[in-house]
Amino acid sequence: MILKQRVESKELRTFRALNARMSLLEKERNYCLNLEKGFVGELDFDLLVSQLSNEKYLALNDLIYDINSKVFQIDSLLISNNTVYLFEVKNYEGDFYIEKDRWYSVSDTEIQNPILQLQRAETLILRLLKEIGFSGIVRPFLIFINPEFHLYNAPRNPQIIFPSQLNRFVNELSFKMSGVTSHDRKISKHLLSLHLKESPYSRIPKYTYEQLNKGIYCPCCHTFFTESLVCSQCGYIEEYSGAIFRSIIEFNLLFPEERITTKAIWEWCGQVFPKKSIRNTLLSKFKMIGYGKSSYFIIKD
Ligand SMILES: [Zn+2]
């Protein structure tokens, strides 16, 4: 059973919006691309986990903790029968190699050693679990989810699961997981309550309202729509209400302090879409605060 669903992080959503509306530096674009790729890999992992029968485990996805000022993120935790399975999921693609415990991509670029990352997460989650009275064991795994991944000089480490081992791994997991205990439920609830909603270390670049291109862009290829909501690039067709709703959510994500008003959204959408459609979307999908000219909208709970 999934206790905490995986959703796109605020960092990823913000990067995606900024990438569409301003020119990012190359390293920022690459970082954004890595976030996108990482998220896709995690969804692929979720799909794999969904093969396990639902009542055998509790799943907590995308967790962030701060333990004595040490922040760490966890891609996935499965809890079953007094065992916490810790997963670090990597969506690496292409050839990689290891030399003297250091990891490199085939272009000789050094990458963070994912085994060390896993070990750090294991140490910290063990400390946290001990604090909340967990008495079982922790089993950490490094999952390489992309079938196009290859590692030269791969160590013989049972904690590393390569793409060709994934199906067998899930079968073994299914065999080992015998069900959820009341202690598992208690620990999961406690872990959920300690999770931070946002990472304190986000790499979002600074931006201002003026800097960003206004308008509504295609959700598929990020090309800005011109007069109609038909994408000139990929042919995607969108309805007014959906496109405007998306843009309002994005406006609020990038400028949470700004009031959502018809005028503000009309400007945000590039001043080309009818104010009436914007007003209607606001009235139907958001909550109005106040009356008359000073009224504004907030997101419904
Ligand atoms: Zn498009």
Q: Is the pLDDT reported for residue 240 higher than 90?
A: no
227 has a pLDDT exceeding 80: no
Instruction: Please list all protein residues whose beta carbon sits less than 5 angstroms from ligand 1, which is an ion.
Output: 218, 220-221, 223, 231, 233-234, 236
- Ligand 1 centroid to Cα of residue 33, in Å, is 18
Gap between the Cα atoms of 28 and 217, Å rounded: 20
- Write out pLDDT tens, residues 42-88: 999 999 999 999 899 999 999 999 988 889 999 999 999 999 999 99
> What gap in Å lies between CA 129 and CA 86, rounded to an integer?
12
How does residue 6 score in pLDDT terms, banded at 50, 70 and 90?
A: very high
169 pLDDT exceeds 80? yes
> What is the band of 226 on the pLDDT scale with cuts at 50, 70, 90?
confident
Which whole number is the average pLDDT over 18-35? 95
- pLDDT value at position 210? 97
Write the CB contacts of 248 (distance below 8 Å, at least 6 apart in sequence). Answer: 260, 265, 268, 281, 282, 285, 286, 297
Q: Supply the CATH classification number for the domain 214-301.
A: 1.10.10
The pLDDT confidence band at residue 292, using thresholds 50, 70 and 90, is confident
Residue 273: pLDDT band (50, 70, 90) is confident
Please report, in angstroms and rounded to a whole number, the separation of the first and last CA atoms in the chain.
Answer: 24
Residue 225 CA to ligand 1 center (angstroms) comes to 8
Beta strands in the chain (DSSP E): 2-4, 58-67, 70-80, 83-90, 94-99, 102-105, 110-111, 137-144, 149-152, 160-161, 286-289, 296-299
Distance 23 CA to ligand 1 centre (A): 18
At 272, the pLDDT band (50, 70, 90 cuts) reads confident
Beta bridge partners of 161: 143
* Mean pLDDT calculated for residue range 79-100: 96
Band (217; pLDDT cuts 50, 70, 90) = very high
| d(CA 32, ligand 1 centre) in Å | 19
Q: Which of 100, 97, 116 is nearest to 108 (CA)?
A: 97
pLDDT at 218: 94
Distance 74 CA to ligand 1 centre (A): 33
Q: Give me 223's structure tokens.
A: 């090309």
Q: Considering the chain, what is the average pLDDT of its residues?
A: 94
Confidence of residue 293 (pLDDT cuts 50, 70, 90): confident
CA of 193 to the centre of ligand 1 (A): 40
> How much distance in Å is there from the Cα of 186 to the middle of ligand 1?
46
Ranked by mean pLDDT, which of 160-174, 190-204, 266-280 comes out on top?
160-174
pLDDT at 202 over 90: no
Q: How far is the CA of 243 from the centre of ligand 1 (A)?
A: 12
Distance from the alpha carbon of residue 229 to the mean position of ligand 1, in angstroms: 10
| Every domain of the chain and the residues it spans | 2-194, 214-301
pLDDT-wise least confident of 36-40, 68-72, 84-88, 108-112: 68-72
Least Cα distance to 216 among 282, 273, 281 occurs for 273
- How many angstroms does the Cα of residue 111 sit away from the middle of ligand 1? 33
